[in-house]
Homo-oligomer: A and B are copies of this chain.
Amino acid sequence: MKTGNQYRESLKKLHPIIYCNGRRIEDVVDDKMTKPHVNSAAMTYDLAFEPKYEDLMTATSSLTGKKINRFTHIPQSTGDLVKKVKMLRMISQHTGTCYQRCVGMDALNATFITTYEIDRDCHTNYHERFKEYYKYVQQNDLMIAGSMTDVKGDRSKKPSQQADPDLYVHIVDKRKDGIVVRGAKAHQTGMANSHEMLILPTTNLGPEDKDYAVACAIPVDAPGVIHIFGRQTNDQRRLDGDIDCGNSEFAIVGGETLTILNDVFVPWERVFMCNEYPYAQKYVETFASYHRQNYGGCKVGLADVIIGTAAAVADCNGVLNKSHIKDKLVEMTFLAETMHCCSLACSSEGFKTPAGSYYVNTLFANAAKLNCTRTMYEISRLAHDIAGGFIATLPYEADYKSKEVGPYIDKYLAANPKYSTEERIRMARLLENMTGGTALAESMHGAGSPQAMRIMIYRQANLEHKMDIAKKLAKIDKMEG
């Protein structure tokens, strides 16, 4: 297992092409725009060495028998699934933001299951090949970017129907030694500071789309790969100072790229699906369900921080004990714990797959994520209600630190004497950034839209059975008999 600093060192050895705001980022570890994202990912490494988190953060590899970071683990029990959720909540409490590494973990586990199923039916050899790759990931404690979402173009059309065939990643050449892929992946969380990416298909595919049925592993600095770093809310504050960032060490969201695959060569030992289009839909759903499980972990940890910040802001204002403030804190807690329960239940009710790994209860996983798409907005709303306008109109850090007006700000924004004005401002800035950025992030962090989840819930609602039990109680079954 790597420490956080070993992770940083390993990143420095890579040379991905990353553009950001009109320039190239040469060193993701030190560049101000990416450093906080590296810091949060590094927490997934460092916490694995803290004795009190050992049980949550580490596991014994089912492939090698060695102790590994849980982010590279294949779940061997429902207990493993539950620990994943608790681990995610715990890390979020340390970073206050996305630490990006779960996407790759879920992509790995979805590929583990899918390659097994393809091999079983098609007599291919992907699963063994993938297990070798998985061992390599475990042994090097790699951070993998799970690369699912294509850019998609016109969403009413299938990949092969798009005006430009490259709007979904596809195989453009098959060679003796490997394949060549082209396309682009959007919303690539953590990509800039990962070691490799694991490409997955992104949607249901038909026979005419078979070249879009591709899964493979690619180093982030492979020839032909270009990353464009996405702009975030209040991104430039980190160039000026630390107060206005709110959470200057770890940032607010995960850091996403648009990643271009410009005829990238992938050797066969890193190819895990090649044209087997009938497996694309379930592959996507397996990844998505593992990923939806996470939200009742990581987002609940963020909610914990938001609740704590809102409580601290109320304390700064001298109103923490007012009944209407307490009511709002209770409501936020209730909403957060409800999300958490859904993720715990989808884990404890998981089951063993034919491949031997454990998989979640998908109905509950979808319920977890669908709750999340509503709850994080409501929690933000309640936090704003507690905080008041203060968080929307605070002066700039530079003014606060200036001789000219700094003293006025210090005087006039003083409140509860338990807190200095700077402390009050810091809490408010944390709340401002977390609620603004986190709520917006909901639009992206979905592993599919709410509509996609609703469709899965419909399929799993078991309406026929429910209609039958209703008919029995209404004594219609006897009439028909």
Contact = CB atoms under 8 A, between A and B. Distances in A.
B154 A318 contact: yes
Contacts of A475: 242, 248-249, 426
A214 interface: no
Given A186-B393, A411-B166, A155 B228 contact: no
B256 A423 contact: no
A67 interface: no
11 contacts: A20-B399, A82-B348, A149-B389, A156-B319, A166-B412, A248-B475, A258-B395, A334-B366, A377-B380, A423-B471, A423-B479
A274 interface: no
Contacts of A402: 19, 22
A213 interface: no
B153 A415 contact: yes
Nearest to A250: B473
Contact of A440 (B20, B183, B363, B391): B391
A439 interface: yes
Contacts of A374: 381
A1 interface: no
A353 interface: no
Interface stretch (A99-107, A133-141, A196-204, A338-346): A338-346
A235 to B, nearest CB: 8
Interface stretch (A55-63, A112-120, A284-292, A303-311): A303-311
Interface string A357-394: 00000011011101101100110110011011111111
Interface stretch (A3-11, A45-53, A264-272, A324-332): A324-332
Interface string A456-481: 01101101011111110111100100
Contact of A187 (B22, B389, B423, B457): B389
Contact of A466 (B152, B232, B305): B305
A124 interface: no
Given A389-B149, A405-B228, A414-B167, A384 B440 contact: yes
A222 interface: no
B248 A408 contact: no
Contacts of A248: 475
Contacts of A355: none
Given A228-B399, A402-B22, A408-B184, A307 B392 contact: no
A276 interface: no
A23 B394 CA distance: 16
Interface stretch (A69-77, A170-178, A445-453): A445-453
A446 B405 contact: no
A14 interface: no
A125 interface: no
Nearest to A428: B474
Nearest to A230: B393
Interface residues of A, number: 157
A402 B229 CA distance: 13
A234 B439 CA distance: 15
A337 B329 CA distance: 25
A18 B16 CA distance: 44
A367 B341 contact: yes
A121 interface: no
Contacts of A340: 345, 364
A441 interface: yes
A465 B93 CA distance: 10
A344 B94 CA distance: 27
A427 interface: yes
Given A327-B327, A384-B442, A436-B439, 15 more contacts: A21-B398, A187-B389, A228-B395, A246-B474, A256-B393, A305-B469, A308-B468, A312-B470, A334-B366, A334-B454, A337-B342, A377-B378, A390-B444, A393-B444, A435-B440
B166 A308 contact: no
A334 B476 CA distance: 27
Given A344-B349, A395-B231, A476-B423, A307 B466 contact: yes
Interface in A12-29: 19-23
A-B interface, 10 closest residue pairs, ranked by CB to CB distance from nearest: A308-B466, A389-B444, A22-B398, A308-B470, A384-B443, A230-B393, A341-B345, A154-B318, A392-B444, A344-B345
